[in-house]
Structure 1
Amino acid sequence: MDLSIAAILGLDGVTSGAIYALVAIALVLVFAVTRIIFVPQGEFVAYGALTLALLQMGAVPGTVWLVLLMCAAVALLDAVQAVRERWPLARWARHAASTLAAPLAAALITLALARTKPNMLVQVLLTLAVVTTMGPLVYRLAYRSLADASVLVLLIVSVGVHFALSGLGLLFFGAEGFRNPSFWDARFSLGPLTLSGQTVIIFAAAAALIAALALFFERTLTGKALRATSVNRIGARLMGIATDKAGSQSFTMAAFIGALSGLLIGPSTTVYYDTGFLIGLKGFIAAVFAGLTSFPLALVGAIGVGLIESFGSFWASAFKEAIVFTSILPVLLWRSLVDPHHEEH
């Protein structure tokens, strides 16, 4: 291997690492706020890429029907709760509107525009809208009633949600894979390296999102409320912060990050209904490196995972996945030494 090959592999690794960084940041965000190890994060990535692919074909994406189905299930749960707790009709109507207005609007607008094949920008916005609104619906259906359960129970539920979303992905999208067109076909030469326009977009989008998250948590009231919930859930509740709302907001942000990651990775690889699982696992390795608490360390870990995958594919392409997943073992050993576990009571 000479320096030019190493530079090319390094660029590929950093590019992949930027995607894994977004997934890792979403995992850290959800865990910090809700204590949920969100195994299905990768499904949002796959849904984002597949939704855009079907919009490109002028077809109604399966995520539209999935959102409508989830809205019906949430409406039924809320109606049962309203009857059980004897809510006034006005309160139930306000609650239903606040919970279901956004996902219903996103699904119905996409349903109306999908067959007209709108331009790329509209397709991207529709994809982000549909997949993002799935986040709070998943939280309401699977997690809200278990918000105070142990981490182990929440992990088991996450595994179940992963299998459910993966199966629904097969139902709504089929087993066929899709590859999206590049957002920018430009080429830039930098010594031995050639940067594609899509690579530049990946770097720019990842950097912009990380900067936006930093400003969100430092400068906004909602961001500070999420930080308070992540530090001490009970204390935040005593200070008047609605922890259920914080959980729903964290899932909304995670779904948006997942959808954006799917849009970015779609032109680089063929995406299937279950592709998100491997991407989510690699993001999870980076999140574990960060102890599921630190966004900067998650970024560093994700770049490391991308580089390991890139160089591993060069030296032993048949075992690149095994090399990547084996790298979690020294990370777990290091974490067990620097951050001893205390049994949860």
Structure 2
Amino acid sequence: MKLKSMLAATTFLVLGALSARAETELTVYTAFEADLLERYAAAFNKDYPDIKINWVRDSTGVVTAKLLAEKNNPQADAVWGLAASSLLVLKSEGMLEPYAPAGLDKLDKRFYDADTPPSWVGLDAWIAAICYNTVEGEKLGLTAPKTWEDLTKPEYAGHVVMPNPASSGTGFLDVSAWLQTFGEEKGWDFMDRLHANIASYTHSGSKPCKMAAAGETVVGISFAFRGAQSKSEGAPIEVITPTEGLGWDMEAVGIMAGTANLEAAQKLEDWSVSPAAMAQYAEGYAVVALPGVVADIPNYPKDVTEKMIDNDFEWAATNRDKILSEWSKRYESKSEPKS
């Protein structure tokens, strides 16, 4: 009887330990595209089956605002798949737990925080582009734009859609890039003239391209991968990379300071920069943090990387509130209703 009792007790302890491990949960805030979440979690769980990811997903601006609102009562354990410019804002507020994930030394140095250890690490880059519907453009007698400046021509009045930078990371990288490329005075002047041609500002970075692909607008200011994907699906669009230069940002990962699940969050960050994770990102991004991991994406513009601006992420983060306040004051009237 003693042996049976001992065996029963041992079994109970083992099962209890396994159960405890299986019940480790991480609340992860993200702006990853919704259709990627299940795939990314499944890939992570192949290596860490004892950690369950509970996603909280929204657009970049909404997630950033939510994290800042929760500063004194954090709800997230980690952030995985949010713009680096947003993580720099969190860093400035002391909200991130510095950590150097395994494999950091193998990443492109442009893709992580300069501090040692870094407060955030970049994963992949998404890059601005124009999605131009050739069929609708021809019907209206329009010429395909080659530059950002072309979009201010009177012929495009009411035929341009772009993301709202307050809610979309893609929108913010556009605005930030224009201010850096043209200078602040000329940048705002450009956006004033562009605004005259804008039909609406969306709350999603991919939506303008989807609208162009569907013929709902002629020009959608979006990002290059979405354009390439839509064209590969048969949409009559051209993916245009304006000659003045392209704004870009990184999806990044970071650990929230004070998390009660620090060890699990560190495992998530370790995995997020692993070759297995980079292979996942490369299915949707032509530029990832680990050199040598590159996908051949059909219809992706060949000149994208050479047109990427020398992006000052620190400047963008420091001036984010001022930029968004000024943008909203000038242009919010054409923003689509929030769902």
Shorter-normalised TM range: under 0.3
* Structure with greater proportional helix content: 1
Instruction: Give the TM-score taking structure 1 as reference length.
Output: 0.22
Which of the pair has the greater relative contact order for Cα pairs under 8 Å at 6+ separation? 1
Instruction: Give the TM-score taking structure 2 as reference length.
Output: 0.22
